[in-house]
Structure 1
Amino acid sequence: MSTQGDKEKIVLAALIGAFDDQNGLPSRDEITAKAALLAPLLGYSGDLQNIITEAETAIPSRMNAGVSLIDVDAAHDEDWIHKREIDTTYADAYGGYLRSQGWKPTVVNTLLNADGSKILGLLQDPTSEGEWKRRGLVIGHVQSGKTANYMGVIAKAADAGYKFIIVIAGIHNNLRKQTQQRVDEGFVGRSSDPENRVNIGVGLDRSYPNPVTLTNINSDFNKQTANVSGAQLNDFKNPVILVIKKNVKTLEALHIWLRELNAKGRDRIADVPMLVIDDEADNASINTNKPDINPTATNAWIRKILRLFTKNCYVGYTATPFANIFIDPDAFDKDAYEELFPSDFIHSLDAPTTYFGPDKVFLNDESSSAVLRQVEDCEEYLPFIHKNGFPVAELPPSLYRALDQFIVARAIRNLRGQERKHCSMLINVSRFVSVQKEVRSFIGLRLDRMREAVKANYMMPEAASSKNEHMARLRAAYDAEFAANEFGGRNYSWDEVKTALWGVFESLRTYVVNSKSDEVLDFAKYEKDNIGLTAIAIGGLSLSRGLTIEGLTISYMYRNTKMYDTLMQMGRWFGYRPGYEDVCRVWLPNDSINWYRHIALASEELRQQITRMRQADMSPRDFGLYVKSHPDSLMVTAANKMRSGEKVILNQNLTGTLQESWLLPLDPKTNQDNEEMIAEYWRDGFGGTVEPTEKGWFIPDVDVGKVDEFLLRFKAHKSARKRKADAVEYLLKIAPKFSKADVLLISKGLGDPAAYRLGAQDRTAEKDATPDKWQVSGYRVASRGDEKLGLTDDQISAAEKLASEDTKSKKKKPSDVHYRMVRKKPLLMIHVLEPTENPAFAGYRVPAWGLSFPDGLYGADFEIEVIANKVWMEEMYGSMDDDPDADEDYDDE
């Protein structure tokens, strides 16, 4: 018997599919009319509001196929999938399942028949004779559907003939269980819960050929469970799949069982094509040093398991590929054999247009201002750096404001008909379990008082209810955040919201989520009863990797790690927010906001680089060398290696990058000297001809020596001198190829050209400026589009063409990377900035520079040596003391 929730999904899937072939987007009225027509035909008599809202969000969704970087010299025919007649039983069932869950058919088609087929083709034909192996990496976006993608690859691989599939699902039990549930629904077709072995998901079709699973939602792999089958791998008619935790003991147990049971005394297993999917492949496989998930041991056991099979493929999945690229491609161990470097292929996935990702949260000014809120008071209550057992005397007011927002946002979502949808709040302020429990106690106490206040006042006249302090705070949250609702979504009056407040507390629960907790954040349990869970999840690392927090609406995080992978993975707020994106809020300290912006830009440029290298027929090894020599590699490498204070030396390549003086002096004399020097060079035209632009002045074809001379004389902040020196050294390194550079004098308004004085550009300095130095917000000096200035019409047209061909360019409009590519020479940008939102520095004029380098200069001939120690790193990037890899909430099992 179908539940009301099941019927909702059926109507939603039919409604989305009804518009799949329509040209142009349907109006809400058209969607409403079609829903009203379909609902009775499908036996649904409930409220259609939420179905219409979700359909309205999903129907515009589009998804481009990804881009692959392959080893073009390898003897591999990726068209093997088109030369064989391959049954599509598992892939068709999975595609049907996704559509039944409300996925747009065109998105499913891209996921399975574009990306899925492409990745399968990059694997080996499982019917191939002899011994073979393949190593690859798939780069996705945090919370964007990587699991859906690798589930599609698994289904297609099973259709093609892969017999033994291992999914390595992170280092925590809750993530392994979540992944097992998804594998059960999308591939196995039967619940793996020993107490409830019922057909689910793809298995609701009784003719479905269920694969065999040797793990279940309660138990990771163990020899006793596996031996129950009493079979050899080749005895199974259907594919065998395991979902295991990335844990040394588990991997070792699997290796022993496979060797004892299936190798029949031989060293290796023949005639069983196997596939390993390593989810969160940058974590533990490579870069953690916890004793029982030691990177060397974890990595070695994965390699040993692969080695057991004469026919094996390994595909890592990650949204943060820096660590994977740092694998030594030539590493070999006599016991573990070849490393996991993706030597055969790297595939970069696109995300559907409905993805609520880093660009919306951090790079788009309009949506960022709607979503982001600054945490400014947490240090007084729960400092960045604190010890286990830290006594929490009270929580910061900003956390209580975020809690108020959450209660109001849930009420609004309920009014929109989303009562049966999950709604969650994330709180990540400490890595210590003891502190997390104390935070939960304070949150619980506040919720008890709010519940009492709401119960007594939600039906009272406003004149009476407003006298209650908790009701007044909830009203303030409504007025400040949700009353105007300029970014979409239906408006509701405060009276309507107030009436809905009591319903928020009906299924509100708080959880401490870590590997030592006996509480399980189990959304599926509530779904069975058709209940939308309202959850507040408090935790550390367990909330920072892989785990999907359903319906995440309000996020509050106060952590100061600078590690690319960990920080991006902490962004559990990325994902899909149908019908409630406008009520989502993310609370972060300003340093984190700036660093997220920097990483979002770096990650996007990394993906664009894959496209450019593919066009140049370059290999994954070339891409690995590029990332290894990327300027941000210093941050990634050094943070891993400098805990003992050792010095790090790297060869760096600045090709295609913009290097800027985002760390600036606020000393008036220094800045006056720099302004006078700018006037001096401007007066002389840098030895060239000065031309006006819409935003300042342009000087083409200046001698590189003149640019070098200017930068050497420019007075940098003491902590930024090394960065300037590296940029100058690289400019001189490429000078034999580029003797000329362009110069831009960028000005806000007219400035005073007669006095050779630039108009100052406003840059926020609310929290980033001290009398000693100013770290410019977002680690960016130039505005977007500045690099377009001075280009010819033909160059602009060329940049537009590059953007239109770039599958990673969301809006198909040129970015500064595209302008950089068509300029084909170095570009010096000169600015004068004025700190704003900080009265102490009102009216200050602070000169700054940026140096943009042309793209495509790969190889050792275009590298410089960069040296850093711990002191230098902390001057540039701040403290490294909050090391999430040292979190104390790892699994003990």
Structure 2
Amino acid sequence: IRTQLNESVASIKVVTINQKSAPEEKLDYSRYKNTEKGRRVIAIGGLTLSRGLTLEGLSVSYFYRNSKAYDTLLQMGRWFGYRPGYDDLFRIWMNIDAQNWYAHIANAVAELRTDFRRMSANRLPPSRFGIRVKAHPDTLIVTAQNKMRSGQEFEHSISFSASGVETAYVAKDQLNQQNVDWVKQFIKERGTATTQKNKYLWSGVKKQAIAQFLAGLNISNLNMQFLPDHETGERPLVKFIENNPYTTLDEWDICIPQGENDIVPNFLINTGTDVLGEVACRSRQFEKTPKSASYFKLNRQRVGDTSDEKVGMSISQLAAVENAWKDELAKDPEKRGKSIPGYMYRKIRSKPLLTIHFIKAVEPKVKPDTMMKAIDIGTDPIVAISLSFPDFDPESKGKSVVYRLNKVALRDLIGEEEEEGDDTD
């Protein structure tokens, strides 16, 4: 090896790449196409390199540039190396600050890509879809201020207090069948159920069991509240349920509502009597999704209905909800005639609720061009879930994350919550 070292490096030249570089020092690879060793250089440069100049066969980079904008750093990152077959030999040298910058930007870009997939799944143009980019807590800016335009910085508190979460994007094919089997196993371990009207109810289920159940479900990342952490792969919502310090969230209610569609095969509920209970699927419509997608999308992104929110609540609590809603109507007469929205129940309820839905597709009633036929969904029951959190954090002490939002995202985030009417079977 030592005898070959000199020959191997002798053809390497150190060149400065900028606007004033001599013609023979320009990175013109075509002039060296038919030579034995090709063009072999140590290239040193500023703006010319940082604007995305391609260095063929680049394998080692020494990065020393003090830029503080996401877009500039990403642009410079394009020439970090891409020599096929030599991936294990790539070396990028930079100081610890730059390493942390790129780690933060990688997470922000991953979140942004997920938002783009949601936009595509919703078939919405950019003008109607809210886009957000996570801001850096200290040094970095998303882009230069003169390029920011309608973007505004907004501090979003991540708290699930008095909130509702649904999986409107549901798994299909084998992933869904795994969910059905997982639900059957989970419910079997819960023991005897009580009944509340047309719903099965289990009370006092420990939060660890809820977290374990959610962790075992196949949940599409298009359900925004279930986005996994890009570093650990774990879902922060599931970890919060398992490890949160709020005593109000220690024990959960579990509900399986009944519909008027087909019976879920090979699934019987222990009701504490001689007669085992069956589960009838709810009827729902589905919007069109790409054939290659691993999910189906429920119409209007609504899984349950408002009556689900009443499960596990006492008569006095339901009365308190009705009185609170009367106060709302007195303040805003335009709300008269509307049913009590779900968030009113979540403000009053004392325990969190997990609702497990078994769903069958039905033919679309309106806009058939944008909806899927039942035959395209299939006949197997589809699993979706809803989570209803009580108001366990009235002072909103949730973790704060700063995002740079466009106008649509800002409107969606701070606008009033819109509740759909009951989607009855």
TM-score (norm 1): 0.24
Higher normalized helix content (fraction of residues): 1
TM-score (norm 2): 0.48
Higher normalized strand content (fraction of residues): 2
